[in-house]
Amino acid sequence: MTNDASNGNASSRREFVKTSSLIAGGLIAAPFLSRANYFSGADEVIKVALIGCGGRGRGAAKQALLSNPKVQLVAMADAFRDNLDDSYNILVTESPNQKVSIKSRVVVPEENKFSGFDGYLKAIPLADVVILATTPGFRPIHFEEAIKQGKHVFMEKPVATDPAGIKKVLETAEIAKQKKLNVVVGLQRHYQNSYRELFKQKNKIGDITSAQAWWNNDGVWVRERKYNQTEMEYQMRNWYYFVWLCGDHITEQHVHNLDVVNWFKEGYPVRAQGMGGRQVRKGKNHGEIFDHHYVEFQYADGSVLNSQCRHIPGTMSKVDELLIGTKGKIQCGAANIIDPKGKVIYQFDLKNENNAYQTEHDELFAAISKGEYKFADAENGAKSTMTSILGRMATYTGQAVEWDQALNSGLDLQPKVYDWNTSPPVVPNDEGYYAAAIPGVTKYFEHVAKS
Ligand SMILES: NC(=O)c1ccc[n+]([C@@H]2O[C@H](COP(=O)([O-])OP(=O)(O)OC[C@H]3O[C@@H](n4cnc5c(N)ncnc54)[C@H](O)[C@@H]3O)[C@@H](O)[C@H]2O)c1
């Protein structure tokens, strides 16, 4: 499939016939027709552009290529050329025992490799489907551009780092729906067999009155400052530790668990209060994020989600969700349901578990190749990301924060200009340390205390 209007008469005619019948059937509104919706050619390719060529980006690109033999990777964009080259080289290097060969479908000539902040603008037009896997601070503008250009999207979580970004994603999600562009968000538990089955069986526990969610482990990498880096380059490389880029770990990773509870509750919290801080993240390379958050989220029906996430080496590891209902509990990690006495009343057969990272691409590309509109994950992706941001605003301020207040706070952490020589929104003090939020001092509309 291509967006090139000069694709030949057969394709144009096929498109016209299919489009006309859909308009006649009243299934779509004529002003929003997009060529990307109507892939149906047996011999055409589905062209993919990868924006953000790090670990997850190349993983997602590989999964896209494995999902359907028509898929070709045709363009790559990354802020840094070395990251792009590393991912390209990994994608075209296959081990002898690899079951399905993909390297012949990595068709990215030199002129389709783009580095810098504006690479996405050049890569997106070349594709039918765009994979957005940069650091999350950029997701709103990349998603907006992809949908503006009529592309289907796979985008990684989280989908923003601040409420202004969430609003942009919500607005863009609406446009994607109107244009009938498939959007899958990498909250992959929605594509995991055990979670899908537990969701189907959730009535067994009655009404959900409370829940717990955990993302506790040692934490992640640190990328040291290198000689001659500008402050912008340093933060872009060591992005996990800067809220404007990462959102803090409550957003970056714990969003998965918060999202599961929202999914099973079929709603989003209305307020949050909590506590958090930095016990061990005290170095110059630890930026401004916390290493632990504990948040009590409240839903409109009065039920509560107790959420904890911790990144402290040497402490107990647990990544899981528990839903507590009037008639029992769903234990997601164990993939089972127990009654109030602890008796297992449903057990998912773990032999039927799947690789959800692969399934999300299999299902997305199956829909696209059949010309079907099936996936509209962006709104939930935005609201679950907003849940995590609400939690962060509660732990940073030490105040109870309402959903509407947070979403409408106007908090926008992004720089006005993306440029290697521009000063990022936070800078270190004279000793090289960054200011972190201080509960009781930091205001909900600030990202860190102005000290
Ligand atoms: N669903 C999951 O389980 C899962 C797992 C891992 C990562 N992720 C998500 O994937 C995203 C990327 O994580 P990662 O582990 O690949 O990080 P990474 O650091 O390995 O890769 C990020 C890449 O994005 C590039 N980049 C940053 N800003 C850019 C911009 N403006 N334009 C173009 N490229 C840009 C970086 O240079 C880097 O190469 C994150 O949002 C992360 O949460 C999701």
Per-residue pLDDT for 2 more than 60? no
Region class of 280: left (phi > 0), else alpha (psi between -120 and 50), else beta: alpha
Residue 182 corresponds to which tokens in the numbers above? 């498939």
pLDDT of amino acid 26: 30
Task: Tell me, using a 6 A CB cutoff, whether residue 57 lines ligand 1.
Answer: yes
Candidates 134, 215, 388: which one to mutate for ligand 1, based on the most atoms within 8 Å of Cβ?
134
Region class of 309: left (phi > 0), else alpha (psi between -120 and 50), else beta: beta
Question: Ligand 1 atom 18: the closest Cα is on which residue?
Answer: 54
Task: Tell me, using a 6 A CB cutoff, whether residue 51 lines ligand 1.
Answer: yes
Q: Closest Cα to residue 37, out of 134, 147, 195?
A: 147
Task: Tell me, using a 6 A CB cutoff, whether residue 159 lines ligand 1.
Answer: no
Task: Tell me, using a 6 A CB cutoff, whether residue 359 lines ligand 1.
Answer: no
Q: How far apart are CA 142 and CA 133, in angstroms?
A: 10
Place of tokens 């509109």: 373
pLDDT category at 410 given cuts 50, 70, 90 is: very high
Whether the bond into 158 is cis, omega within 30 of 0: yes
Q: How many CB atoms lie within 10 A of CB 310?
A: 24
* Average pLDDT of every residue of the chain: 91
Task: Tell me, using a 6 A CB cutoff, whether residue 328 lines ligand 1.
Answer: no
Q: Give mean pLDDT, residues 414-439.
A: 96
Q: How far is the CA of 93 from the centre of ligand 1 (A)?
A: 21
Q: What percent of the chain has pLDDT over 90?
A: 87
Q: How far is the CA of 123 from the centre of ligand 1 (A)?
A: 17
> What does the pLDDT look like over 15-71, one tens digit per residue?
322 333 333 323 333 333 344 544 544 458 999 999 999 999 999 999 999 999 999
pLDDT of amino acid 43: 52
Per-residue pLDDT for 81 more than 70? yes
Residues facing residue 291 across a β-bridge: none
What is the C-alpha R_g of the chain? Answer: 22
Contact 138, 118 (CB under 8 A): no
Residue 209 corresponds to which tokens in the numbers above? 């009155």
Predicted structure pTM score: 0.92
Question: Ligand 1 atom 6: the closest Cα is on which residue?
Answer: 56
Q: Give mean pLDDT, residues 262-268.
A: 98
Question: Ligand 1 atom 19: the closest Cα is on which residue?
Answer: 54
pLDDT category at 447 given cuts 50, 70, 90 is: low
> What does the pLDDT look like over 85-111, one tens digit per residue?
999 999 999 888 888 899 999 999 999
Per-residue pLDDT for 402 more than 70? yes
Phi, psi of 446 (to 5 degrees): -115, 155
Task: Tell me, using a 6 A CB cutoff, whether residue 136 lines ligand 1.
Answer: yes
Q: Closest Cα to residue 66, out of 354, 359, 351, 371?
A: 359
Per-residue pLDDT for 1 more than 50? no
Contact 439, 277 (CB under 8 A): yes
